[in-house]
Structure 1
Amino acid sequence: MARYDASELARRLARDAEAVCRHYLSAGRRQGGYWLVGDVRNTPGRSMFVRLKESAKGPAGKWTDAATSEHGDLLDVIRESCGLVDFKDVANEARSFLSLPRPDPEPKVNRVRPPKSTVPAGSPDAARRLFAMSEPIEGTLVEAYLRSRGITALHGTGSLRFHPRCYYRPDEHSPTEIWPAMIAAVTDLSGRVTGAHRSWLDPGGFSEANLGKAPIDTPRRAMGDLLGHAVRFGVAGEVMAAGEGIETMLSLRCVLPTMPMVAALSAAHLSSILFPDTLRRLYIARDDDPAGDGAMATLIDRTQAAGIEAIVISPRLGDFNEDLRLLGIDSLRTISRTQIAAQDVARFMELAA
């Protein structure tokens, strides 16, 4: 009898993501390319969104709760909405929904496990250790990956490093894999490393289908203490730009090369970034999705309360890396120039073609 592992079940569910949402997240509703609901336990509301179709933002079936930073796939939706605990029960429910046969009992096999460490997994200490074990990006797959996405302004990227054999485990029931990865240091306002972000990369290179990311379910993961902190490019003074993704902010940096910028790694963490005491004007680099809108609204409220001017800059497409790749750097320069303060055009913008 055929066997369907967690990855295959998640892929099959994602093919009909809207039907899964209508069945297990019935308290929500569709809005554009997303299913909006209160949380993964099917509470009414709008803070959680499920991507219904694959796009440049990611695969179908992936969800994020902007209020809690929880994220996962449709197997997690089934587990939480049905109140299940054991994976076998989740898998059986998924197979029932998909009308798949139940598998034969799984034979016992030996798994190769990574060496044990005295540093707690996922802790700030583990993040600092991973970053220290990595190497500068010059001449590595990370540099090639960023350039393949149109990012050529790589000055001041000491917060990024390359790890050629970074561990990846799809879930607790799967063996550990090894992939090359971009490692980003998450730091507090004093520059102390509190966490790390891993972007696993495809050693085969860039394509429009994978955008250079490894062909795995969750090619991006963070670890450590993230709340309020960010991946930083430059030292913030009176002016700073903040957004979600590393590639998004590095793309904007191609046309604003001297403006300090931070990547908060998610919409929820963007809405919670801590402000430097020197900050007087914050540019919010908005992603064009429901979570991005929520983060923007929260940040505007927080900056107003702190006496900081907030200016939203929006891409024409989904995010600024899409603008850079698909519209070109001249278009991105025009998009940005029309949205920032006149004094900052003179101060920060690269005007040469």
Structure 2
Amino acid sequence: MRAAAAHAKQLGDAHGWSPSLIRCAMDGLTAVLEGRQPGTPVKLTEIPTRIPRQASSHRVAEVLAHLDLLDDDSTLAIRTWIDRRAGDLPAGFAADVRAWLLVLLDGDSRTRPRSHTCLYVYFGCVKPLLENWAATRGHLREITVSDVTTALDRLRGWQRRNAIAALRSLFRFAKKRGLIFANPTARLKAENIERSLLPMTDAEVLAVQQIAVTPAQRLVIALAAVHAARATAIRRLTLDDLDLPNRRITLAGHVQRLGELPHQTLLAWLDQRRTIWPKTPNRHVLINAKTALETRPVSAEYVKRHLLHHGVYLERIRGDRVLHEALTVGADPLHLALVFNLSHTTASRYATIAQDLLDEQIEQADDRE
């Protein structure tokens, strides 16, 4: 316990923990280590049940891990989520969907593991369809091509495209495992919806302005709107990537001149960041109450909670910026690739859409004349 208390003090000082947080961590360490044989590890699932209410399970576990006294016996949160959400489905579909999600998570001999986001999106697409089918169908093998077609007829745009991808993945898995006799999605193809990428409307811009009220929200939107930065690049942006005196910023390894709007929002956010967490060891630009005590970036959920859950789609803003550039300077894919660090394929796609829009404007002008 003396060694753990000393290490908690050392770790807290290094990571900017407040004195009260260090004391609470020590109280938690005392509770889990008291009466234990020296060197005996503590199970991770045991910590929340034994520490005082004011102590942080995460901080106690962090100290124990540094001392090699932590036995992580917990189930991954995503696996718990799979069990819970699949268990909510109608009985005839639950087991097969759970097995499908686990293969997506872990991969197999012919399938690479998918991201957690992919699992969330795919399950969100198939869940309402399966619940509707459950009224007349009891198993995946009973789903017909007509059932799939009817269900998809009500969907449009990316919602339809994602549903098609999810259904194809589910039924390919079922066919491969012998759970169905015929794949009702075998001839199903996702439509090309590139033409749906259009400049943002005035209503969309106004909605974003009304939602972005905090310095952190305004910074994220400014980086996407001016520099077409992806969410991952924004989350991983560090203080070392900023050169404010020379107005330069490095996003995803690509050095750019810092625009006026991102410059102003950066100054506002950094001022708030300095006021709230003056001793944080975290070098990432975006931090919160949790990551301020660590060195890792904020999670993808951080961006979703502040923007996506309020109806702001960062990719929509980013795409609008690239498209605006293409409409302003001409549909030149090489220019877009250099300015926004895009792949040639993506740059060509934006250039094609921009050229189509420019051609439509010319045709409309000719018609008016």
Normalising to structure 2: TM-score of the pair? 0.26
Q: Which has the higher helix share?
A: 2
**What's the TM-score, normalizing by structure 1?**
0.27
Q: Which has the larger Rg?
A: 2
